[in-house]
Amino acid sequence: MKKVKIDKSWYAMLKGEFKETYWKDLTNFVRGEYVKEKVYPPPKDIFRAFDLCPYDRVKVVIVGQDPYHGPRQANGLSFAVHEGIALPPSLVNIFKEIHDDLGITPNQSGDLSRWAKQGVLLLNSVLTVSAYKPASHKEKGWEKFTDSVIQALNQNREHIVYLLWGKYAQIKGEIIDRDKNLVLTSGHPSPYSASLFFGNHHFTQCNDYLLKYGIKPIDWH
């Protein structure tokens, strides 16, 4: 099997996963989907979250579900979209909360690579999706892989802030050691549950925690 094209620090931590039967089944499924229909994100961006945020640089993890399924939206980062694409409602609400919490106006680009390069792992649970078919690649193996990502951080790193918005992310984060990390939970920023997301001051709490342990805080602009 060809070596997986993912940041070398992540490859070192996850190489055991790439030998598992589920991984072979997953890659066969995903390759087949790319051949027969439109799939997002582009193949080169599947592991973009990891390439922009190497293992040893992770300070914050924001857990999403699966990529956006519309044209040119998904770019490999949870909640993010390509430059120049209209902001999805959830990201609009995230920016609103940043403004209300920190008193700053975020850059209106939805790309979010500016956060990833500072140590924010924008991790979707499922890393691919067929066009216009939300959740079409769920339960094919991606969840097992991304559980292993969280476990790799949980076992060998500490003082990471996990932002778990919505029940789905909270269930995925149950394995996280609360004694050596900060886990912040709230409703999802989707318009359907935003009233449970607004006003929780997660961005202030995140940066205060990082500063407490001598870690440079995130510029959320």
Phi then psi for residue 85, to 5 deg, are -90, 140
Residue type, 92: V
Distance CA 22, CA 182 (A): 31
The yes-or-no answer on residue 66 being catalytic is yes
Q: What angle do CA 119, 125, 118 make, to 5 degrees?
A: 10
Distance CA 65, CA 90 (A): 12
Phi then psi for residue 100, to 5 deg, are -70, -35
Q: Which of 25, 66, 100, 179 is catalytic?
A: 66
Distance CA 91, CA 101 (A): 15
Phi then psi for residue 120, to 5 deg, are -100, 110
Distance CA 30, CA 74 (A): 16
For residue 84, the number of C-alpha atoms closer than 13 Å in the C-beta half-sphere is 2
The set of catalytic residues is: 66
